[in-house]
């Protein structure tokens, strides 16, 4: 058991019969009354996010979550196959465990998988990835000065909004948390 002083971003708590990872936390000491810790936690299995408040000094149950480097190999039916980079063991994760990661994952890409007692929980991608645009409608000549955007499909099949001047075959950097275009990548 740990106390609320041990709550940090990324810590996994065991509460309400499930595992919850801390997304945000804030220690609050009001002028009147006792201090407390306000948190935003996300269920590692369902992805549901809730707000939870703990009184200062309350006991919380922390869980040990190991993170290991894996390589994404391929999609097999409803599952995604990954290989452990250290011992070459292969595991298959369900679509629920992988979440939105397939929108930004290419075969042979390195990812981090969070494990609890050897059981995979979820996939962590790097903050941004480089993907090639496979389809983009041409931007109209008069629209280039307006700073507008147009939809473009990247090589994973995911659709993002890009500036009008980008064309098919251009490599772009994409934020894996929001799906936003971050910039063009020169080879």
- Which neighbouring-strand residues pair with 52? 39
Rounded to whole angstroms, the Cα distance separating 67 from 22 reads: 16
Rounded to whole angstroms, the Cα distance separating 25 from 54 reads: 10
Check residue 38 and give its pLDDT: 93
Judge whether 64 and 100 are in contact, CB under 8 Å: no
Query: CB neighbours (10 Å) of residue 137?
Result: 11
pTM: 0.72
Kindly report the backbone phi and psi dihedral angles of residue 43, in degrees, each rounded to the nearest multiple of 5, phi listed first: -65, 125
- In three-state secondary structure terms, 89 is coil
Judge whether 104 and 176 are in contact, CB under 8 Å: yes
Per-residue pLDDT of the chain (187 residues; tens, 9 = 90+): 788 888 888 888 888 888 888 889 999 898 888 899 999 998 887 778 899 999 988 888 888 888 889 999 998 888 899 999 888 889 998 887 888 888 888 888 899 988 888 888 888 888 888 999 998 887 665 555 556 788 889 998 899 988 888 888 889 999 888 888 888 888 6
- Which neighbouring-strand residues pair with 181? 174
Structural domains in the chain, CATH included, are 2-63 (2.30.30.30), 66-124 (2.40.50.140), 128-185 (2.40.50.140)
Distances in whole angstroms, Cα of residue 58 to Cα of each of 11, 12, 33: 16, 16, 15
Strands (E), the chain: 2-3, 12-15, 18-28, 36-43, 49-55, 59-60, 62-63, 66-76, 79-84, 90-94, 110-116, 119-124, 128-136, 149-154, 159-163, 171-175, 181-185
Check residue 32 and give its pLDDT: 86
Rounded to whole angstroms, the Cα distance separating 165 from 163 reads: 6
């Amino acid at each position: 058991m740990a106390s609320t002083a041990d709550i940090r971003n990324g810590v996994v708590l065991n509460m309400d019969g499930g595992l919850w990872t801390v997304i945000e936390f804030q220690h609050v000491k009001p002028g009147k009354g006792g201090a407390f810790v306000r948190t935003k936690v996300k269920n590692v299995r369902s992805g549901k996010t809730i707000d939870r408040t703990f009184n200062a000094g309350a006991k919380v149950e922390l869980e040990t979550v190991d993170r290991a480097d894996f390589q994404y190999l391929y999609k097999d039916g409803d599952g995604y196959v990954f290989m452990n980079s250290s011992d070459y063991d292969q595991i298959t994760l369900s679509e629920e465990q992988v979440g939105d990661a397939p929108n930004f994952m290419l075969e042979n890409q390195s990812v981090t998988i969070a494990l609890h007692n050897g059981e995979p929980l979820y996939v962590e991608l790097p903050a941004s990835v480089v993907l090639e645009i496979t389809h983009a409608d041409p931007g109209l000549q008069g629209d280039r000065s307006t700073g507008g955007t147009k939809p473009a499909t990247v090589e994973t099949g995911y659709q993002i909004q890009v500036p009008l001047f980008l064309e098919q075959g251009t490599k772009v950097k994409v934020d894996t948390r929001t799906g936003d275009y971050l910039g063009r990548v020169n080879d």
